[in-house]
Structure 1
Amino acid sequence: MRSQPWRPQRLTAAAVGFLAALLAFLLLDAPMIQRLEAPTLDWRFQLRGPIAPGPDVILILIDEPSLEALGGWPPSRFDLARAVERLTSAEARLIVFDLLFATGGGTDEEERADAALAEAIARAGNVTLGYAFTFGPQMLARLEASDLPPDGTALQRYRRSPQAIGPLPHASGTLLPPRSFSEAAATLGHMSVLLAPDGALRSEATVVAFEGTLYPSLTLQAARQFHRLPRSDLTAEVGQSISLGDLRFEVDRRMRLPVNFYGPAGSFPSYSLIDLLNGAVPDSELRGKAVIVGSTAAAAVPVFVTPYDSALPSVAYTATVLDNLLQGRSLVRPEWLHGLDILAAGLGAVLAYGAARRLHPLAVPLALLVPGTLWTGLAYLAFVRWQYWLALAVPLGLMALAAGFGALMRSRAEQRRREAVARERRNLSRYFSPAVAERLAAKNEPYSLTGQQSATVVFFDIIGFTAVCESLPSAQTIELLRGFHSRVERAVFGQGGTLDKYLGDGALAVFGVPDPLPGEAARALAAAVDLQASISAWSDELAAEGLPRLKTAIGIHHGPVIVGDIGGESRFEFTVLGDSVNVASRLEGLTRQLQAAIVASETTIQRAGEAAGGIPFGFHRHGEVTLRGRETPLAVWVWRPADQSRLGSAQAAV
């Protein structure tokens, strides 16, 4: 089997793609990589711009005017009880406190305020409260019952495996509201957050593990209450998804739900607490809504870094996550999506490597442009259209490395090529024949003209190629020529001939130079028949692709030729000259008149008959013809496509 030089390059490209995919698999979740990936998500948010939230969530803010009117921080729980009563009378569908009631009253007045708030929460029947987990070293003392979140706040139904529970955030303690508040509330959810390695908040910690039990977040519990779902309808497949009734949300293996931020603080409709208490908020603005009560006072509120805001208040974050859940608009980045990231890294690396191998070193950045732009565009489209969070840092980084490696390999190959050309240029110039190249490789002088010698000359030509060119784009025309030339090479070299030169859509070959070749005429006839069979099969493939069929005309003559170099002082060309070359050319032109694929002189047939290989089956004696420019008639033999069967040394029909 003939060697194929493109195979090592393809194997190298495949190895580059495999290595890139393997590195992507290993690196996607690495903390350092997450630091690089996070800004790419922020850029997507900023490029998309702010969008409007859904209609179901509004905010009641404990802002500076409210604190000034109510006597400062913290607001009296009497006032918060009045707020709950006001929201209840306005028929709010859900009340969520984005406040951590970590301590109960110490004085009689504070105890009465706690009792009033607990009573208002109980009467409302739709209040969701928050609590916090603490993380760090495990507490030495045994936990008391009062340290555990109340019954009914844990996930009732979830599926997990020992491997799935490991990556979850595990808490070491709790900060719970007073028992009277917990008992009065419809439900409780944790308010703990998980910050990204760069300190920003991008994902909701939907579930936290504590004392062997899983506890859902405040927003999950609030969404369940908003939809009036029983506790059993909040379920989880640990490391895969979280479900609210018929709504399913994909999460990562740590049960993190990427947040789809809508914009900076102020994206949601909001009212001041003091306006609510003074009756300045219409009931119509509250009826049927999920109302989140939280603080924006600078000294009394946790703030988070997000793509749109460097200090987003906790209440605005809670509203965003709750709206994501109610509207089904959270970002999607489950574990299975990593497979697409890995595939993109592998295929993109192959494309970048292949392009870099073909580009000039100064144009190597273009090798990254196509796969990088395609993947970036797809990632942005998936983000805007379907809320998918596709990785950019790892695939683009690996594509860049592959492009650099391709450029390095190209540089090394180019250096080797230049060295080889420098060695061979003195001797070979543009000799295409392997036989000539081998003969001249060891010589230091041009192969000078040496007079006449006997040889068989073959002209090949594509019939009607000019018309074919007019109907095809230039790129396809060049591709057809390359296919034709490669088949000519295989046919000629397969029989030991020399390919003298290409002549546009034709070629000139010679058998028996520079050294005599036993049976050169029979070899020339066999090469011609082989080429016709190859072109016929190729034409079937072209026709199946909707391209024109190709037909080849071949003229063959055996006789004396002059062999050697022609040219000026600095440029030489190895070729054959003489009347035999002209005769072969005329015979090739005669194929149209005789409606034959191959026309060979009788001299060639006689010479082939003397050889051990004989005459390929299918040649028929036509008779004498007069060639243009010659007075003496010439006997010729013809071969037509209907007689393609080649039976080794079978005799020609007479």
Structure 2
Amino acid sequence: MVALVLAGAWGLLLAAGHLRGELPVLERLEATLTDFRLLLRGERQPAGAVAIVAIDDATVQRAGRFPVPRAVLADLLSAIASHEPAVTALDVLLVDEGPADEDRELAEALAGSPTVIAGAAVFEEMAQTTPGEGPLAGVPVAARLLLPRQSFLDRASLGIVNVATDRNGTPRFVPMLFRTSDRLEISLPLRAAASALGEEPVLGDGALRLGERRIATDIGYRLPLAFFGGRGTIPTFSAADLLDGTVAPEALRGQVVVVGATVTGGGDVFPTPFDPVLPGVEVIATAVSHLIAGDALVRDRNVRRIDAAIAVVLPMVLVALIGWRRNVIGIAAVGAVLTVWAIGNVAAFDTGYWLSAAVPLAAAAPPALIYGAAQLLQGRQRATFFETQSAMLQRIQAAGLSQWLARDPDFLSEPVRQDAAVVFVDLSGFTGLSETLGPVATRELLDSFYDLVDREVTACHGAVTSFMGDGAMILFGLPEPTAGDAANAAECAVRLCLRLREWLDRRGETRIGFKLGAHFGSVVASRLGRGSNQQIATTGDTVNVASRLMEFAKENGAELAVSEDLLREAGRTTFDRGTLDGPAGAHLRGRAGTLSVWLWRPARQNQSA
């Protein structure tokens, strides 16, 4: 009963956050699962109410430059108007002043047929939304709007062209409304659809209405996007062909014509499940098609309520099944429930209802796993537990991880892939020196080196995974990755440079030096070996690059080489105790291409140089 109550409480906590749209970590997982479901659903044909006129490579070549002159835009709009579209949506920002005659010509062309022109919202680094529970709750609040020139606005309607992307840059929503401190504007897709249907949009209870049409929207009146396919899925015509008169008149008649750039190198592209470089104009056209045809994914307040109910019920059902049968029958029952839920979720998505996959999984997995693990561990005796830990600690070679293994003897029994920071440190010239020192002095020197490294690594919350003769490999990110791993690695690398220099000076040792390399990226951590001979091993390109960076530091007369990836994650503050030079394109041994690398030197070294 305690497990059931706790499982329900955990699900209720996630459900409350989901209803308010306050689970950004789960939204990232949801984005990945949504891409999978879109690919599973496959490409689909749009309803046929929208066409794209692309300012493509041929158009730019014909015009002679990009952005194309406004006189060319004027000719293009006039040519589109002759085809009698329902409305033309111009996905081009006309903010700056152009030549007076061209601006005048473009303004006249805008008045030739119903036209919507683009404005853009400019947000602060941390985007804000309208707080509270009113009808505008969740609407994005812009710092300011970039608006077309007034001479153009006098002859056309305005629509804001921004889209909402996830962390990977994939457009997930198109906000229908935008706010500033003193005005409220609607999006370009909504303005174009409203003009084509001859209806003014009306705010409803978590939805928009265009006449008799109810358009379900998510929090903040965001329209979910369901991409039809790759570029060209929506009928697309070259602006050059339209200007040359080779496009059939019926191709655009009665359509919403979206005009935008698809020119190579134009920059207005987005990664999507079907196309890694989908033009932005096709994203806008997709939203317009959803509004007119009503084929968008439905993710509104009611759908979120269903998600919330599943998030509470599913973990309680799984815990109840585990408590009912602690054997194969119970596991099979849990698997059957999860299978039925997954099939239902995919089926709902296929019919256009975007039920969350991430929230129920996050709600169900921890209680089920924790309760299941508690059931499995219940019969073990304390003496056996301590015996297992003792044997494990004797086998492990990465001393910095022994405390974690004491709590979790099964740590890394299965390999894991995760982001981590890796630092290598090595003494230069030590091999030649050891031949003259003798075994006792060599051991004393290495013991002092190991002790220094271990102290600094422990102070920076890292783990020495192995000492290799006169060097060491240091890892930040095990047993669990944290947001500060890169910063801790940078701090450790700088402190090692300073302490090792002091150490050598104190010993009066001028025959050896040292070098360090630091990198951040994906690693694979696992436990290798069997029986009484096991060790923690960390492998992958990140490890190899960090090791090669030591060579790059030595070749360039520096003591520390840092990759661009680690510098970006850690920030520059740690390196203010010296000089950071770069970036340099490094050709690392055994690796194709170049890597951006920065060289750090302590202040004293730079002054003496």
Normalising by structure 1, we get a TM-score of 0.54
Change (3 A) 1:41 1:287: same
- Name the counterpart of 2:123: 135
Q: Distance in 2 between matches of 1:114 and 1:413?
A: 79
Report if aligned partners of 1:356, 1:404 keep a CA contact under 8 Å in 2. Answer: no
Whether 2:224 is the aligned partner of 1:258: answer yes
Report if aligned partners of 1:382, 1:389 keep a CA contact under 8 Å in 2. Answer: yes
Change (3 A) 1:162 1:381: closer
Q: Quick one: which of 203, 223, 230 aligns to 1:236?
A: 203
Q: Quick one: which of 283, 297, 307 aligns to 2:263?
A: 297
Q: Quick one: which of 145, 150, 168 aligns to 1:179?
A: 150
Q: Quick one: which of 250, 256, 272 aligns to 1:284?
A: 250
Whether 2:46 is the aligned partner of 1:53: answer yes
Q: Shift of the alpha carbon at 1:343?
A: 1.4
Change (3 A) 1:213 1:237: farther
Give 1:177-576 correspondences, 5 Å limit.
Answer: 177-185=148-156, 187-229=157-199, 233-237=200-204, 240-360=206-326, 366=332, 368-385=334-351, 387-411=352-376
Q: Shift of the alpha carbon at 1:358?
A: 4.1
Change (3 A) 1:373 1:21: farther
Q: Quick one: which of 4, 16, 22 aligns to 2:7?
A: 16
Report if aligned partners of 1:34, 1:197 keep a CA contact under 8 Å in 2. Answer: no
- Name the counterpart of 1:483: none
Whether 2:134 is the aligned partner of 1:169: answer no
Q: Quick one: which of 63, 70, 73 aligns to 1:77?
A: 70
Change (3 A) 1:120 1:348: same
Report if aligned partners of 2:3, 2:319 keep a CA contact under 8 Å in 1. Answer: no
Q: Shift of the alpha carbon at 1:221?
A: 0.3
Higher Cα Rg: structure 1 or 2?
1
Note the alpha carbon deviations across 1:369-411, whole angstroms, 9 max, x for none: 22222222112111111x1111111212322223223323433
Q: Secondary structure at the match of 2:112?
A: helix
Change (3 A) 1:410 1:367: farther
Q: Shift of the alpha carbon at 1:301?
A: 4.0
Report if aligned partners of 2:223, 2:287 keep a CA contact under 8 Å in 1. Answer: no
Q: Secondary structure at the match of 1:136?
A: coil
Task: Figure out how many residues of one structure are paired with residues of the other and give that number.
Answer: 377
Which one-letter code corresponds to 1:122 in the other structure?
A: A
Q: Distance in 2 between matches of 1:350 and 1:99?
A: 52
Q: Distance in 1 between matches of 2:368 and 2:376?
A: 12
- Name the counterpart of 1:121: 110
Q: Shift of the alpha carbon at 1:272?
A: 0.8
Which one-letter code corresponds to 2:37 in the other structure?
A: R
- Name the counterpart of 1:89: 82
Q: Distance in 2 between matches of 1:353 and 1:212?
A: 52
Q: Shift of the alpha carbon at 1:323?
A: 0.3
- Name the counterpart of 2:440: none
Q: Quick one: which of 97, 102, 106 aligns to 1:104?
A: 97
Which one-letter code corresponds to 1:404 in the other structure?
A: L
Q: CA RMSD in A?
A: 2.6
Note the alpha carbon deviations across 1:177-217, whole angstroms, 9 max, x for none: 121111111x1111122222343210011111112432110
Q: Distance in 2 between matches of 1:375 and 1:227?
A: 39
Which one-letter code corresponds to 1:17 in the other structure?
A: G
Q: Distance in 1 between matches of 2:197 and 2:137?
A: 31
Report if aligned partners of 1:135, 1:172 keep a CA contact under 8 Å in 2. Answer: yes
Change (3 A) 1:346 1:367: farther
Change (3 A) 1:295 1:120: same
Q: Distance in 2 between matches of 1:279 and 1:100?
A: 25
Change (3 A) 1:376 1:188: same
Which one-letter code corresponds to 2:376 in the other structure?
A: S
Which one-letter code corresponds to 2:364 in the other structure?
A: M
Q: Distance in 2 between matches of 1:303 and 1:283?
A: 29
Q: Which runs of 5+ in 1 are unaligned?
A: 1-9, 139-158, 417-654
Q: Quick one: which of 44, 58, 62 aligns to 1:65?
A: 58
Note the alpha carbon deviations across 1:530-584, whole angstroms, 9 max, x for none: xxxxxxxxxxxxxxxxxxxxxxxxxxxxxxxxxxxxxxxxxxxxxxxxxxxxxxx
Note the alpha carbon deviations across 1:410-437, whole angstroms, 9 max, x for none: 3356669xxxxxxxxxxxxxxxxxxxxx
Q: Shift of the alpha carbon at 1:113?
A: 1.4
Report if aligned partners of 1:17, 1:349 keep a CA contact under 8 Å in 2. Answer: yes
Change (3 A) 1:349 1:181: same
Q: Shift of the alpha carbon at 1:36?
A: 1.3
Q: Distance in 2 between matches of 1:262 and 1:29?
A: 28
Give 1:29-48 correspondences, 5 Å limit.
Answer: 29-48=22-41
Q: Shift of the alpha carbon at 1:237?
A: 3.4
Identity of aligned residues (%): 29
Q: Secondary structure at the match of 1:343?
A: helix
Which one-letter code corresponds to 1:129 in the other structure?
A: I
Normalising by structure 2, we get a TM-score of 0.58
Q: Distance in 2 between matches of 1:92 and 1:163?
A: 37
Q: Secondary structure at the match of 2:363?
A: helix
Note the alpha carbon deviations across 1:511-536, whole angstroms, 9 max, x for none: xxxxxxxxxxxxxxxxxxxxxxxxxx
Note the alpha carbon deviations across 1:127-153, whole angstroms, 9 max, x for none: 111111111289xxxxxxxxxxxxxxx
Which one-letter code corresponds to 2:59 in the other structure?
A: S
Change (3 A) 1:227 1:86: same
Q: Distance in 2 between matches of 1:166 and 1:93?
A: 32
Which one-letter code corresponds to 2:4 in the other structure?
A: A
Note the alpha carbon deviations across 1:97-141, whole angstroms, 9 max, x for none: 111112121xxxx221111111111122x1111111111289xxx
Change (3 A) 1:204 1:365: farther
Q: Shift of the alpha carbon at 1:13?
A: 2.9
Q: Secondary structure at the match of 2:141?
A: coil
